[in-house]
Amino acid sequence: MKNYLILSLCGLLWACDTAKPADPICRINDQFLDDAKGNAGCFIRVNDKLVTLGNIKTGALDIPGGNAQEGELAQCTAHRETFQETGFNVEVGKLLGVAENGFRFYQCQLAEDVGEDIERFPVPGWSKHEVAFIKLTDPFDTLASEWRYPKRHIENLDMFNQTKPEDSQ
């Protein structure tokens, strides 16, 4: 029974499967529809913490996100990349900021409340080649040197401050 429960949980969380499922349909909050295209990522706030990833090569903190596909809206890039790296099917909301290189940062919302007890999430099998861990991090308890892009530390804190735990977006 215990093994069945573990296998069922693994199946639900997709963490045991190394074959990536098809990307879900892009979910954008209509109130914040943005026609920009390009590379993008998600700030996902859970209470007073941020969903962060560990870079597989360095272990440095990062947020889910990545490179756009040809003609893809930046919000859909943020959605797709977040799903590919975490397995989370988020809803993409307001633009929080744009880096010097044009990378766009959006506030994203998890579909369900994860509760206050969860600190770490399983890494989907299909993203283990690039993601070492997924965890909740208090960005104000981090140093710039802990981030993949340390020069963005202050901007990350500013963008995190633009999100509110009680906001629906």
Domain range summary for the chain, segments of one domain joined by +: 2-162
- The reported pLDDT for the residue numbered 21 is 84
What is residue 74's three-state secondary structure? helix
Which residues in the chain come in under a pLDDT of 50?
1-15, 167-169
Beta bridge mates, 103: none
The 10s digit of each residue's pLDDT in 51-100 is: 999 999 999 999 999 999 999 999 999 999 999 999 999 999 999 999 99
Mean pLDDT across the chain: 87
Locate 87 and state its tokens.
Answer: 């397995």
Question: To which residue do tokens 């943005």 refer?
Answer: 34
Rounded CA separation 113/68 (Å): 28
pTM confidence score: 0.85
Place of tokens 């199946």: 11
- Type of residue at 144: A
CATH code reported for the domain at 2-162: 3.90.79.10
